[in-house]
Structures are given as structure tokens and as C-alpha cells.
Chains A and B, each alone.
Chain A
């Protein structure tokens, strides 16, 4: 087993024929992901990467029966693209694009919750189940099928955690980048719940960063609901207050959202905290011994 995506995933790509959509679709296909088609308004009827292009998600749904969509359209179109997929009945949507306005996400989040749709992202590397399906922009080669579930707010930081668990021979069940924005489609808690229920996952790595209180809420959830070991690393221990550190979500505001507070809370809730980026893997190994 795994979470969210596997070899039965039938994926469509919104923004299929654009440069980002094309590049990452090619790599996903090479990895073995079953891309059944794509959507680019105005280009319906064409073939792209040997797959059919449709004008709308609705049309794609009726012709190729996808069960997931990945979005590469520019930020200003993400709101309508996500809602289009949700309204067409797609239950898993992954939005890679960064720079989506926060107010757009407030509307989107409310709507997808009403429709019972799961959204990962925006501003995220996507989801991968090693050896089965890659729905995102992560390098497939550093992954290895295995027993560690990985959740992260950051892209390259996720790769670092992945590489360390691969080097130790543990591998990953699935890896999910939930994105670094203030209003993400899915939270740490949503993913912790799935990994807790997944037989293949033996331990969970949660990579957090400064800003907001998502890690604190997750810590509380872990204490009460997660029986599998959770290992965490929090980036931004040296970040100054009041400065936005790249991600829109990574800012220490009014003394809140510091790494120190998050680490304290995580430890109180029984989470194993790696005190350094380079020791995530060894911490996992130590906990699993």
C-alpha cells in the first residue's frame, strides 16, 4: 500500500502543453506514471506526448476517466483550474504552481471541502509513491520503495529527507509536499491520518518550517491519534523575526511561529526531533532500532 497515488492512478495534466507541463509530464511518463491525457483550452483534439488533449476537464473526464489531476497553469488561473477539476468530479488535485493569491485559496479551500475533494498544494513539489507513480516535479531517482512516509512544506528540503532515508536503505512508502503557502489545500494532519492508516508506512518524517502554527496543531494530533513513530525537523531556527523567508508562509510574526516554540511543542507531544538537517536519516534509523 501507499497513500494518495499508486499504479492505478489515472492522471490528467492541466496546462499540459505549456513548457512546465510538458517537461514534467515527460518525466512522469518515464517514471511510469499513467498519464491518460491533458487539458489546454483551445487545443482540444490535438495529441501531445502521445496523449489526447482536451478543451476542458469535463471533456477529459467523460473520455478518459481520470481519477487525479495535476495543475501547471500560471498562478492567476489556478483558482479557476482547481475549481474546474473539482466541479468535474476529480477527487485528487495536485497544484504545483507557486504564487497563487491567498484570497483565491480561501475561496478554493472552502469549495473543495464542500465537494469532498482533496487538494495538495499549491506551491508544492507534488506526491510520489516510489516505483509506482510520480505526480510532481521531484527527481524520481533519489526515491526508493520502502517504509517511511514523508510530509513536507518545502521542495528541496523534502529531497534532502528522501535522500537520507534512501541512503539508509529504508526507502519511502509515499512522499507528499503540502506546500509552503499560508492556506494549503491539505495540512500535515490530513497526511498524518493517511500515513497512520497505511500498512506499508512504518514511520513518518514530518519536515516543517517557521511560520504559522501548522506544526503545533500536528503535534497535538500526533499525541492523540498517531501510534507510529514520527520524526520531525523544523527549518528556520536561525531566521530573524518579521522577515519573509522565501515561502509566503515562512515568516515569524509578532514572536509567533518560531522554530523554538515548534520544537518544544513537538517534543512535548512525543515526536522525535532531529536537531539538524543532516541528521534526519540517522534520527529515523535510531528511532526504528
Chain B
């Protein structure tokens, strides 16, 4: 789960990390008052969406009149922001963060992730901030440090010093940086983060460290113990079909092809997409109905797949392990009746009671192609999609 920048900065403030004085607004009429309460002569207004690249797309502006904040809010609230990280429709803007302007001397980079290889929390730091870190990694790898820290470490001071040296911090900045790393580590662990990124971390005109951005991802598996973070969830930032699928515990990702896929298991779902592609077709989606595919879930899955107008054929691929294929076959039949499907459906059943399942499909009055062999089923779906 992702947070907005303003939500991330609230967490930063809770953990004593230096952030700008700011307010979030949801209505343009609150903009001028917000600027006046923040004070100063200059402000930064930032459209809040779950995507990077906002600055280059007009989603961030530097202003010197409170009325400009109102104009900016009027321009963006209720509209969609398209950046190089979004799709062509962009992300809806429903809030604007207004902040006091920070004078910048230099821009640094700091992030933390859970690293699978070293099985530690790894802090990534660079003296080159404000840019795409992957470019820095490629072009000037000597400017990046990867510092692994055990989650149960008692004292992060030495780790912080290692990172601070690469960031080329002076003595005073290092004194600020050590507790900063300690606080970030506490935040990361206590809030079950999977990613934390400050790009840029800046040195301001007073030579102090300051967090100018905040990108936070939370481990979805840990949300059961983070109720206050669940409150921050903004469904409008998700693909509507993916969000609806998630409510039914279906894992769905929309793609740009025309063959709808319904598969049990994430690995097999990817494998099925690959097989379609291998035979010259294009999958319209990834959809995992889960290990316990029931009639209700199959019906729900059909509904979600068919909301995509591009879908011209549906391929169902179920490898019955615990789940019995005859029950799936009955689920498919009743789902087709219930949903009223007008496109052809190819069903491949394998494993537990597969023959009985195929027999039920063949004997039904519903028009489905039941093919036991996956290669043949995929070929048929591709043929029907063209």
C-alpha cells in the first residue's frame, strides 16, 4: 500500500524528522488561509498523487502569492495528473500539499528497502539527489552506498556514519544525521514499511538536513497491525477494477491484450499469460482466483474480466489441487448463466476430478470449449481472439 507525500510527511514529523511547515487542502477555497497560516513569502504547491515525476508535469509549482495557491488548486483538484510514471489517463488529484519554501544548497538521496539477497534492511544513500537513482547507479556507482542493517540492531551509529561519509556531510550535519537514521529505522520497523524514499534529502540555507519529499510503501501483509495506516488508504489512486478485485480477494492486473484469463495460483496465471503470448495472442489481464476457487469467486472473476471491453475471449485454466474441477465446472456454468457472457469461453481443467469437470461442461447447454491440454486450450483461445 502506498501513501501520499503529505501522509508520509505526517509520519516523518511524528518521528522527529525535519520536514517543512505545511498543510494539506482538499478544497481550493482553503488555499489562501493555509498559505497565511504557514507564513513566509514563498510557498511550494504540490498535487498529491501516487506517482513520481510530478515536477516535470506541472504538478509542483513555486509561488509567491497565496492567491496562486488557490489558482493551482482550482486547476488540479478533480483533474488527473499524467507523469512519466502513470498511464496515459493519469492519476486523480484530490488533495494539494502547500509548504513553506525551502532554500536549497544541495540535494542528496536517501532510501531504505528490505533487501532479499542480504536479508537485511538496506539504506541506500547518494550525494546525487533529486534525480533518478537508477541513473546514478548506472553512471556513477561510486557515488552510492548500500548499507545493510539488521532489523534487531541496537545501535545504528556506525551505519549512519558510513552513509553520512558518502553523502559528504560535515560534522554538524553528521550530528543531525545519526539520530535521523535511528528515527527512520524505528519508523521503518514500527510501521512495517517495505520502502521509504527521501528524494531529495536537502541541505538548506542554514546548512541543515531537511526532508523535501517522502515516498512510503507499506507491506500489505502487515496491515492487520497498522490500523491507523489503513485509514490513510486512498482507493482513488488504484485502478478501479484492481481495487474491486482486491475486495473479493482476487488478484487482478489489467493488461492491454484481448484474451481474458482466469487462473488459480499466481505462478500458473503468469505461466498461462506467457503461453498465450507464445502462441501469438495477447492476454487482457492477470487474474488469480486463489487456491480455493469457489463458484462465487469464479462468478466475480468473470464479471471483473468482462468489464474490460477489449476482451473477446476468456480462457479459464484451473489446476485442481485441493479444489475439485467438477465443482469449478459447475461454478463456471452458473457464473456464465448469471453474468450473461457473450464472448466465447475456453476452459482447461486439470488435476483433481478433471475428467468429471470436463464431462459436466460438455453436457451443459452452455457454449464452452472444454480442452484438457493447456497448449491446445491456449491455441484455441488465441484463434478465437483473432
Contact = CB atoms under 8 A, between A and B. Distances in A.
A156 B268 contact: yes
A154 B265 contact: yes
Contacts of B269: 245-246
B267 A235 contact: yes
B87 to A, nearest CB: 10
A248 B275 CA distance: 22
Contacts of A160: 268, 271, 319, 350, 374
Given A102-B221, A141-B352, A156-B267, A107 B278 contact: no
A207 interface: yes
Interface string A84-124: 00000000000000011111101101100000000000000
Contacts of B267: 152-158, 180, 207, 209, 235, 246-247, 250
Contacts of B350: 160, 163
Given A137-B321, A139-B351, A99 B221 contact: yes
A145 interface: no
Contact of A156 (B222, B225, B265, B375): B265
Contact of A109 (B119, B222, B251, B374): B119
Interface in B103-118: 114, 116-117
B116 A245 contact: no
Contacts of B117: 212-213, 217
A139 B352 contact: yes
B222 A102 contact: yes
B339 interface: no
A186 to B, nearest CB: 12
Contact of A154 (B119, B220, B222, B268): B268
B5 interface: no
Contact of A276 (B189, B192, B278): B278
B55 interface: no
B331 interface: no
A47 B152 CA distance: 39
B141 to A, nearest CB: 14
A224 interface: no
Contacts, number: 175
Interface stretch (A5-13, A36-44, A57-65, A236-244): A236-244
A103 B116 CA distance: 11
Contacts of A45: none
Contact of A250 (B220, B270, B277): B270
B45 to A, nearest CB: 27
B320 interface: yes
Contact of B283 (A235, A238, A250): A238
B265 to A, nearest CB: 3
A157 B253 CA distance: 19
B81 interface: no
Contacts of B150: 110
A246 B266 contact: yes
Contacts of A75: 221, 224
B252 to A, nearest CB: 9
A159 interface: yes
Nearest to B374: A278
A280 B220 CA distance: 33
Nearest to A280: B271
Contact of B272 (A138, A163, A210, A277): A277
Contacts of B221: 75, 99-102, 248
7 contacts: A100-B221, A141-B351, A155-B291, A213-B116, A237-B270, A255-B134, A277-B374
Given A102-B221, A238-B276, A245-B270, 5 more contacts: A154-B268, A155-B265, A157-B265, A277-B275, A277-B374
Enumerate the 10 nearest inter-chain pairs by beta-carbon distance, A residue then B residue, closest first.
A154-B267, A246-B266, A156-B265, A157-B267, A101-B222, A277-B271, A156-B268, A235-B270, A278-B375, A246-B251
